[in-house]
Amino acid sequence: MRTQVAIVGAGPAGLTLAQLLHVAGIDSVVLEARSRDYVEARIRAGVLEHDVAELFVQAGVGERVRREGLVHTGVELQSGRERHRVAFDELTGRTIVVYGQTEVVKDLIAARLESGRPLLFDVEDVSLHDLESERPRVRFAHEGAEEELECEFVAGCDGFHGVSRPSVPAGILREFHREYPYGWLGILAAVAPSSDELVYAHTERGFALLSMRSPELSRLYLQCAPDEDLELWPDERIWEELQERLGVDGWTLHEGPILEKGVTPMRSFVVEPMQWRRLYLAGDAAHIVPPTGAKGLNLAVRDVAALAEALVAWYRDGHVALLEAYSETCLRRVWRAEHFSWWMTTMLHRAPEDDEFTLRLQQSQLRYLRTSRVAATSLAENYVGIEHA
């Protein structure tokens, strides 16, 4: 098998890259370890930055996000039992789109299959070879046969636990880590959202987030231990705790059947550089953010937008500068999102070791966001997606 770009991973990064390259006339092969059903059912992110939603439209896969995506002009920050709205449109002139990652992935897979270009599911034993040459190779097993894909570039879009990052020889990469002493217990519930906009709640019992997927589907999270045992959380207890944390006077959290529940641990992670010879890392393969800033999916798409632009420049006129600058270009934006995600997370969550001093700092920060337009604008511009990183 031969192609121009081998893409390892069919998550948002790999699938978006494949689509961007396809519309530019550059051939690729996408290799995915899991099944199509598994990848499409994985419930993860829920918020698209405006420019990311627009990128999908420009790339020819945005028809449904434009039709079904929920345009939001702000979010609510809750401190104790008091809420305050951060108006993105007034403060930045920009908005966000609430549209589940499951739907993004379905749209991208449908476009890939429509294109007729290779997207292989249930691939096994992927290994990367000759990354230092002009003809890297990707070996893998598929449908019982051993395969070898010759290419010119490899895009490592295989997430945090993928094979791409570990394929870089020891001593080349620097890794930056931050583990958090809490995680999120997330539920998907068949009940209309009890708020028109997202609510991020800081309470002495811990963080809670009210989000949504559609006018009929609610997505809610509550802070828990990173290794929380779901067995200890029957539906009744989840709703009771969400009522406690999100409750404000004159407002009711509507409950309904829980369709899915899971615990997500939290970490911050960055690898530098994000490229080595003919291997380019994108998305969670290169960085992880705690989901409090709704950045993970958006960072992944912005990485591959930069990579696609660089590859198009190389293939069209031999331009190497953008390829050589890929990592530096992405890392400026990645570190801005890392800081914002860390800041939102540590401001809104109550860590077990946090004392009263920390609680007062968090309450002061939230009060400052309520009273200062400058402070609110800083949060808003980071949340909707910041150009100058």
Catalytically annotated residues: 72, 200, 291, 295, 383
- Among 297, 306, 334, 347, which residue interacts with ligand FAS (rule: CB under 6 A)? 297
> Please, which residue, 198 or 274, has the CB nearer to ligand PHB?
198
Could you say which of ligand PHB, ligand FAS, none residue 92 binds, taking C-beta under 5 to 8 angstroms by partner kind? none
* Rounded CA separation 226/71 (Å): 31
| x-or-dash string of contact with ligand PHB, 37-66, rule CB under 6 A | --------xxx-------------------
> Please, which residue, 273 or 363, has the CB nearer to ligand FAS?
273
Could you say which of ligand FAS, ligand PHB, none residue 162 binds, taking C-beta under 5 to 8 angstroms by partner kind? ligand FAS
- Among 49, 103, 152, 158, which residue interacts with ligand FAS (rule: CB under 6 A)? 158
Report if residue 362 touches ligand PHB, rule: CB under 6 A.
Answer: no
Q: Under rule CB under 6 A, which residues in 40-79 are in contact with ligand FAS? A: 44-46
What would the two tokens of residue 32 be? 């995915």
Report if residue 219 touches ligand PHB, rule: CB under 6 A.
Answer: yes
Report if residue 297 touches ligand PHB, rule: CB under 6 A.
Answer: no
- Among 111, 149, 157, 270, which residue interacts with ligand FAS (rule: CB under 6 A)? 157
> Closest residue to ligand PHB, Cβ-based?
46
**Least gap, CB of 221 to ligand PHB (angstroms):** 7
Crossing angle for the helix pair 356-371 and 373-384, nearest 10 degrees? 90
What would the two tokens of residue 245 be? 């944390």
**Least gap, CB of 90 to ligand PHB (angstroms):** 20
Number of residues that bind ligand PHB (CB under 6 A): 9
**Least gap, CB of 115 to ligand PHB (angstroms):** 29
**Residues 6+ positions from 248 with CB-CB distance below 8 Å:** 78, 81, 82, 83
Report if residue 163 touches ligand FAS, rule: CB under 6 A.
Answer: yes
Choices 102-110, 133-141, 272-280, 289-297 (CB under 6 A): range interacting with ligand PHB: 289-297
> Please, which residue, 86 or 220, has the CB nearer to ligand FAS?
220
> Please, which residue, 47 or 149, has the CB nearer to ligand PHB?
47
- Among 3, 16, 203, 211, which residue interacts with ligand PHB (rule: CB under 6 A)? 211
Report if residue 185 touches ligand FAS, rule: CB under 6 A.
Answer: no
**Least gap, CB of 281 to ligand FAS (angstroms):** 9
3-state secondary structure string, the chain?
CECCEEEECCCHHHHHHHHHHHHCCCCEEEECCCCHHHHHHCCCCCEEEHHHHHHHHHCCCCHHHHHHCEEECEEEEEECCEEEEEEHHHHHCCCEEECCHHHHHHHHHHHHHHHCCCEECCCEEEEEECCCCCCCEEEEEECCEEEEEECCEEEECCCCCCCCHHHCCCCCCEEEEEEEEEEEEEEEECCCCCCCCCEEEECCCCCEEEEEEECCEEEEEEEECCCCCHHHCCHHHHHHHHHHHHCCCCCCCCCCCEEEEEEEEEEEEEEECCEECCEEECHHHCEECCHHHCCHHHHHHHHHHHHHHHHHHHHHHCCCHHHHCHHHHHHHHHHHHHHHHHHHHHHHCCCCCCCHHHHHHHHHHHHHHHHCHHHHHHHHHHHHCCCCC
Residues in contact with ligand PHB by CB under 6 A are 45-47, 198, 211, 219, 291-292, 294
Residues in contact with ligand FAS by CB under 6 A are 8-14, 31-34, 39, 44-46, 101, 123, 126, 157-159, 162-163, 264, 283-284, 291, 294-297, 300
